[in-house]
């Protein structure tokens, strides 16, 4: 049983599948009805109007309706589109057990504990018939799929079949004779009081109450399930019905039994917590599925698909009985697949589909022996069929030779060589690999004989990977394995890989999991991964290198750079076999070959962009219908907004795209069409950034932004228009703006006049007196003498406030760098020029820009012509003698036409170059280089991947220091940022794209720091020494060295720092421990002993041994103390220390015993746990820090390392990388 979906809820009492949508309805014991999408595994809706358990449920076959019946005696008809109950049918007097729609008539049949069956007309909302006869609860009642029959099951131990043809004749159709016959004999039907429904058969045979009965979809059969633990099969005809056989096997009440919709099987479930599958021909059980603690109550089958649902105490499961994925293999232009025990061959070009041979199954039921894998060998014309059942012990494979001249009309049976094994894959012309039940890899020949056994990493499954290679799947990922050399070549981490699809040239491979796929190259380096919400079904590579894959309801594509999208929607899942152009060849779940048509434009467009095939892109832009916001968003994301301009019709979108790619001309055209203030403001800002002051002027005029417009005229030196702005301000009665404009023009007399107008006579007098306007000052003096007692004094050092006159008026736009047009802009210009030449059009606005026009009354209006009085049309009066038609030129002059290519005079803003720091990041995979480049994110990612760093706080000062050392600066012009220099360590051969940063941190510097740490250790400054050693330890990870000897020296330095840090931390903790009890004293002695096993310098080891010797002697552990004394003497200590040590040794030798047993064995090699400071003896499980390699007990896996304080203990990492040599 293949479980596809499972829910957790209250007890499920009723189930129904939607006939066309992937929906299943479940009714619960708490009165809730749930609607689930079993394909998406989501709850769509819930209905909660019944009081008490709901047992009956059914979907209408073509209306958006479903019916439910519950213990509240109510039948409710619902509309799932409107999400409400339409009406309630009342009439039953007890619990309602089942409710079903009729497939053709507007009827509902219901069964109830009131011992009746009722038929309702849901259109008239009335009960049209009541079937009485049972003398106990009626547990189930169903319509026959095609005939006028109803079957019912009751706890009175009988199954009854009712004839309702009278009801049909009475309420739905006039009968076989038609309407005329019915009109001629209007009373013939009821002459003898014929009932609407009569009992046709009473089936007796069960010993206890019957819980369920169901009709066969096509045959005159019934199946019933009862509390006597039996399932009975009944056959009937027009005159009688009889028991055919009984299926025994359940050991508790059988809740439900149904026929398989498409196979000769019966599926039942029971309160014995099992689902059983029975063979109708043999009347024997063929499969059993059990749950540990849940009783089953109901089972339902999808009317057309191989999907079942079963309800139990804690929810429901949706499952299949067998795999529906066909076994197939593709070689060049041919598809081989297995269908109905035949191997068939399909040719893609001719669509010829013929059987090649019959595959013998040894009498096993078809659904239990369906092969899940087919491998074809074109060299030997043979196939391997693998049948991997749910039970690993029953898994096997078969080797078949294909007949050379098969007869399609009567394909012959070929006896295959069968052997147990999980998977069999071809690895050579006449060899294949088998993964046996013990998960060992063996190589066999065409006679199915073992030629050799291969030791390989443990795996669950094997896949094809080319001649002599295999892909080995384990829990964590997939490994590329060389069968000849017997070694793993590479590994990629992707869990639960189910299928492997190679491209035709074997350059790429797609690894398909349940909900994710990974695309890798030949060396199994992962290029991208794609995660899906739906299950992945199949995939195939297109000729252009695009992966086309299917999910449960879509055909999709994926590019090797990670881009993916939807091509089309599917009604039912398919399995792609080949993709050619716009045709997708596939197999459906009925093993029928199909050809679907797709539109490849979208993924070919993206592929052309990725591969920089701009000719193809331009061709598709001009000829294909590329629409949708997704394409526009994709082009913006990939940095091609100018491409989107070619097919975007929405002016607002065109405007945004044009601004993004710096195309001011297109933006101006769109802004004119939109004529929106916000657009003009954005256009003005963008044009100002490019120095296009003519368009800025137009934008300010359209938005009537007079202050900015005045300042623009000041910057460009256009004094004439600036004076006109004064006039405009006066008309607008904006005194402030008028005064500011006169300040910019230097018109002192006008300023005095404005100040007088607004009544500021004092300021007017000061302005006139300061600037030497004597007449105005005298006139104002007379006025002010009457108002003020004293005139304001003129500042003796006042300076004239006159702006400097413009040296030259700027009439052209700010000069830009002359660069060549981009490919797409150039192509567009060519088309536009060609169109203009053909049409002979002239520009309408070639001689001016939009400006403000002052009308005769002094009003302001927007316009796109020149200022009034400035209009001139060249050539109107004939003053310009520019005609050259009468010139005689020598015929041998050849001059290339300017602008003939459409390239000259058309420019795009230059694209920003790549920063040297970014070049460093692109060229190096060393964390030190990324830190110097300032790319801290990638540096942290590298440290995490290489040495498992999870705490980056201690790295902050090192990152900042490295970044500061990576560049030089020199001051430029004041108020401008400084100029940066980027020194290279490979400056001689770097070039423009090959540079690597100069690293200020050297290995020799760390060796000098190590001496300082040694001195602190000797002086007993343990905290200071620990800090120094840790600092060196972290700095090592940011080193960059060039030789193998330097790599080795750095690794030795890391080991020294680890040992000292571990030992000093342990010693610091030991000194802080209490000494009150014997156990505490023993722990102190143990830690002192462990310290002596750290790899220290002799001078420091002498100190640790002296400490341990004294402690153990005081504890009267003389034997261990003597051992410490001998180790101490071997190091050659100072004479006074040696004399004292020998005295202690003599005293210990007199009584060579230990008074207390400690957790310390000097003869058994051990490592000290960096967290608990306890020994981990050789052979015991341990975890290591991927950075400093400190050892830990397994319970500390996943914690932060206490030694380096940055890495995660036990993390799987690739190791320290400080040189490019380590990547070769």
1044-1072 vs 1022-1036: helix crossing angle, rounded to 10? 150
3-state helix, strand, coil in the chain (%, to 5): 30, 30, 45
Confidence of residue 979 (pLDDT cuts 50, 70, 90): confident
Residues forming a β-bridge with 274: 290
Residue 409 has pLDDT above 60, yes or no: yes
User: Does the pLDDT at position 181 exceed 60?
Assistant: no
When pLDDT is averaged across residues 109-128 and rounded to a whole number, the result is 94
List the single range of 612-616, 766-770, 870-874 with lowest mean pLDDT: 870-874
Residue 460 pLDDT > 90, yes or no?
A: no
Q: What is the pLDDT of residues 757-783, one digit of tens each?
A: 888 888 888 888 888 777 777 778 777
Q: Please report the pLDDT score of residue 832 as a whole number.
A: 53
User: pLDDT value at position 224?
Assistant: 96
More confident residue, 923 or 58: 58
* Structural contact between residues 791 and 800, judged by C-beta atoms closer than 8 angstroms: no
How is the beta sheet containing 417-420 ordered, strand by strand?
373-377, 382-387, 396-401, 417-420
- CB of 765 closer than 8 Å to CB of 777: yes
Q: Give me the chain's average pLDDT, please.
A: 84
Please compute the mean of the pLDDT values over residues 287-316 and round it to a whole number: 92
Name the token pair of 821.
């047009």
The band of 859, judged by pLDDT with boundaries at 50, 70 and 90, is very low
DSSP letter for each residue of 95-163: -EEEEEE-SSSSEEEEEETTSEEEEEETTTTEEEEEEE--SS-EEEEEE-SSSSEEEEEETTSEEEEEE
Tell me the average pLDDT across 1091-1099.
90
pLDDT of 747 reads 82
Q: What is the pLDDT of residues 650-709, one digit of tens each?
A: 788 778 878 877 788 888 888 888 888 888 888 888 888 888 888 888 888 888 888 888
Q: Which of 106-110, 115-119, 528-532 has the lowest mean pLDDT?
A: 528-532
**Buried b / exposed e across 831-849, counting CB within 10 Å, b at 16+?**
eeeeeeeeeeeeeeeeeee
- Give pLDDT, residue 705: 85
Rounded CA-CA distance 1106/98 in Å is: 89
- In this predicted structure, the answer to whether residue 892 has a pLDDT above a threshold of 80 is no
Q: Looking at the predicted structure, is the pLDDT value of residue 1091 above 60?
A: yes
Lowest mean pLDDT of 193-197, 519-523, 770-774, 797-801, name the range: 193-197
Structure tokens at 49: 């109007």
Residue range 1158-1204, pLDDT digits in tens: 888 888 889 999 999 999 998 888 999 999 999 999 999 999 999 99
pTM: 0.58
d(CA 751, CA 743): 8
What pLDDT does residue 145 have?
A: 93
Q: At what angle do helices 774-785 and 748-757 cross, to 10 degrees?
A: 20
Pull the structure tokens for residue 812: 């052209």
Strand, coil or helix: 1132 = coil
Strand ranges of the sheet holding 198-204, from the earlier edge strand across to the other edge: 138-143, 149-154, 158-163, 198-204
Indicate whether 1052 pLDDT > 50. Answer: yes
Residues 987-1046: tens digit of each pLDDT: 778 777 788 888 888 888 888 889 999 999 998 889 999 999 999 999 999 999 988 888
pLDDT digits (tens, 9 = 90+) for 206-230: 999 999 999 999 999 999 999 999 9
């Amino acid at each position: 049983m293949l479980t596809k979906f499972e829910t957790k809820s209250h007890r499920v009492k009723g189930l129904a599948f939607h006939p066309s949508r992937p929906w299943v309805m479940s009714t619960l014991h708490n009165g809730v009805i749930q609607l689930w999408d079993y394909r998406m595994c989501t709850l769509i809706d819930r209905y909660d109007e019944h009081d008490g358990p709901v047992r009956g449920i059914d979907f209408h076959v073509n209306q958006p309706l479903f019916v439910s019946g519950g213990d509240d005696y109510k039948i409710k008809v619902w509309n799932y589109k409107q999400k409400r109950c339409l009406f309630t049918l009342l009439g039953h007097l007890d619990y309602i057990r089942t409710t079903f729609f009729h497939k053709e008539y507007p009827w509902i049949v219901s069964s109830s504990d009131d011992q009746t069956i009722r038929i309702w007309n849901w259109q008239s909302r009335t009960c049209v018939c009541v079937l009485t006869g049972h003398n106990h609860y009626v547990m189930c009642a169903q319509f026959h799929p095609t005939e006028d029959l109803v079957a019912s099951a009751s706890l009175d131990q009988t199954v009854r079949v009712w004839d309702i043809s009278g009801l049909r004749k009475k309420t739905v159709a006039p009968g076989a004779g038609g309407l005329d016959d019915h009109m001629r004999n209007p009373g013939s039907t009821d002459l003898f009081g014929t009932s609407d429904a009569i009992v046709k058969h009473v089936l007796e045979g069960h010993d206890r109450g019957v819980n369920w009965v169901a009709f066969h979809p096509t045959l005159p059969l019934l199946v019933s399930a009862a509390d006597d633990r039996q399932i009975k099969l009944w056959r009937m005809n027009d005159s009688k019905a009889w028991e055919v056989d009984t299926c025994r096997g359940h050991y508790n009440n059988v809740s439900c039994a149904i026929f398989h919709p498409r196979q000769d099987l019966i599926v039942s479930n029971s309160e014995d917590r099992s689902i059983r599958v029975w063979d109708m021909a043999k009347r024997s059980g063929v499969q059993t599925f059990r749950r540990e603690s849940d009783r089953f109550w109901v089972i339902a089958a999808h009317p057309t698909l191989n999907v079942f649902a079963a309800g139990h105490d804690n929810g429901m499961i949706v499952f299949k009985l067998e795999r529906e994925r066909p076994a197939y293999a593709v070689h060049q232009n041919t598809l081989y697949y297995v269908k109905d025990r035949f191997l068939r061959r399909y040719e893609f070009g001719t669509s010829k589909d013929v059987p090649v041979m019959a595959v013998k199954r040894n009498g096993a039921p078809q659904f239990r022996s369906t092969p899940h894998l087919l491998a074809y060998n074109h060299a030997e014309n043979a196939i391997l069929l693998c049948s991997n059942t749910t039970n690993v012990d029953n898994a096997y494979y078969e080797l078949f030779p294909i007949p050379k001249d098969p007869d399609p009309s009567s394909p012959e049976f070929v006896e295959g060589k069968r052997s147990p094994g999980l998977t069999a894959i071809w690895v050579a012309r006449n060899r294949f690999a088998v993964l046996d039940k013990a998960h060992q890899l063996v190589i066999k020949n065409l006679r199915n004989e073992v030629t050799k056994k291969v030791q390989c990493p443990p795996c669950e499954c094997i896949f094809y990977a080319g001649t002599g290679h295999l892909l080995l799947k384990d829990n964590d990922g997939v490994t590329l394995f060389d069968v000849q050399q017997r070694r793993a070549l590479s590994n990629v981490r992707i869990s639960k890989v189910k299928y492997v699809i190679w491209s035709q040239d074997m350059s790429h491979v797609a690894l398909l999991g349940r909900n994710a796929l990974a695309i890798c190259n030949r060396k199994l380096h992962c290029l991208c991964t794609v995660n899906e919400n739906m299950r992945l079904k199949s995939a195939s590579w297109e000729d252009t290198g695009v992966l086309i894959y299917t999910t449960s309801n879509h055909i999709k594509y994926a590019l090797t750079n990670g881009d993916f999208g939807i091509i089309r929607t599917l009604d039912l899942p398919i399995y792609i076999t080949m993709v050619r152009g716009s045709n997708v060849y596939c197999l459906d779940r009925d093993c029928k070959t199909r050809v679907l048509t797709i539109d490849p434009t979208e993924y070919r467009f993206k592929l052309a962009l990725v591969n920089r095939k701009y000719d193809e892109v331009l061709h598709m832009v001009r000829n294909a219908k590329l629409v949708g916001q997704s394409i526009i968003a994709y082009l913006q994301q990939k940095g091609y907004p100018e491409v989107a301009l070619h097919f975007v019709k929405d002016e607002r979108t065109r405007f945004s795209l044009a601004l993004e790619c710096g195309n001011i001309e297109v933006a101006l055209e769109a802004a004119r069409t939109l004529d929106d203030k916000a657009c003009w403001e954005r256009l003005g800002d963008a044009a100002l950034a490019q120095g296009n002051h003519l368009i800025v002027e137009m934008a300010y005029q359209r938005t009537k932004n007079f202050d900015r417009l005045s300042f623009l005229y000041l910057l460009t030196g256009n004094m004439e228009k600036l004076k006109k702005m004064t006039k405009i301000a006066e008309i607008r009665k904006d005194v402030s703006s008028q005064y500011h404009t006169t300040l910019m023009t230097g018109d002192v007399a006008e300023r005095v006049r404005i100040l007088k107008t607004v009544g500021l006579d004092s300021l007017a007098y000061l302005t006139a007196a300061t600037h030497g306007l004597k007449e105005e000052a005298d006139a104002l003096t007379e006025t002010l003498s009457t108002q003020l007692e004293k005139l304001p004094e003129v500042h003796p050092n006042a300076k004239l406030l006159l702006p400097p006159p413009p040296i030259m008026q700027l009439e052209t736009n700010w000069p830009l760098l002359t660069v060549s047009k981009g490919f797409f802009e150039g192509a567009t210009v060519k088309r536009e020029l060609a169109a203009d030449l053909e049409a002979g059009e002239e520009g309408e606005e070639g001689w001016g820009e939009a400006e403000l026009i002052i009308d005769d009354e002094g009003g302001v209006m927007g316009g796109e012509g020149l200022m009034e009085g400035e209009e001139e049309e060249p050539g109107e009066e004939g003053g310009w003698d520019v005609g050259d038609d009468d010139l005689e030129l020598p015929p041998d002059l050849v001059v290339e036409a300017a602008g003939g290519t459409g390239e000259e005079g058309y420019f795009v803003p230059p694209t920003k170059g790549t920063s040297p720091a970014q070049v460093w990041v692109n060229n190096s995979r060393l964390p030190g280089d990324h830190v110097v480049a300032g790319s801290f994110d990638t540096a942290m990612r590298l440290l995490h991947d290489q040495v498992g760093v999870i705490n980056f706080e201690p790295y902050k000062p090192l990152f900042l220091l490295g970044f500061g050392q990576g560049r030089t600066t020199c001051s430029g012009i004041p108020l401008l940022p400084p100029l940066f220099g980027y020194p290279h360590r490979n400056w001689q051969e770097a070039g423009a794209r090959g540079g690597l940063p100069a690293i200020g941190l050297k290995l020799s510097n760390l060796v000098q720091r190590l001496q300082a740490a040694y001195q602190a250790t000797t002086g007993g400054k343990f905290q200071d020494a620990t800090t120094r050693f840790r600092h060196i330890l972290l700095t090592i990870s940011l080193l960059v060295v060039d030789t193998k000897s330097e790599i080795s020296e750095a690794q030795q330095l890391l080991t020294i720092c680890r040992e000292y840090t571990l030992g000093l931390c342990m010693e610091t903790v030991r000194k802080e421990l209490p000494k009150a009890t014997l156990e505490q004293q023993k722990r102190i002695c143990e830690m002192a002993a462990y310290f002596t096993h750290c790899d220290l310098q002799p001078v420091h080891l002498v100190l640790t041994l002296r400490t341990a010797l004294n402690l153990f002697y005081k504890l009267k552990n003389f034997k261990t103390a003597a051992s410490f004394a001998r180790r101490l003497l071997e190091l050659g200590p100072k004479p006074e220390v040696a004399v004292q040590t020998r005295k202690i040794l003599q005293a210990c030798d007199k009584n060579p015993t230990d008074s207390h047993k400690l957790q310390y064995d000097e003869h058994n090699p051990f490592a000290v746990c960096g967290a608990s400071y306890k020994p981990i003896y050789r052979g015991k499980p341990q975890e290591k820090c991927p950075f400093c390699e400190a050892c830990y007990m397994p319970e500390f896996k996943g914690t932060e390392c206490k030694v380096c304080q940055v890495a995660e203990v036990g993390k799987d990492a690739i190791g320290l990388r400080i040189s490019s040599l380590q990547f070769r």
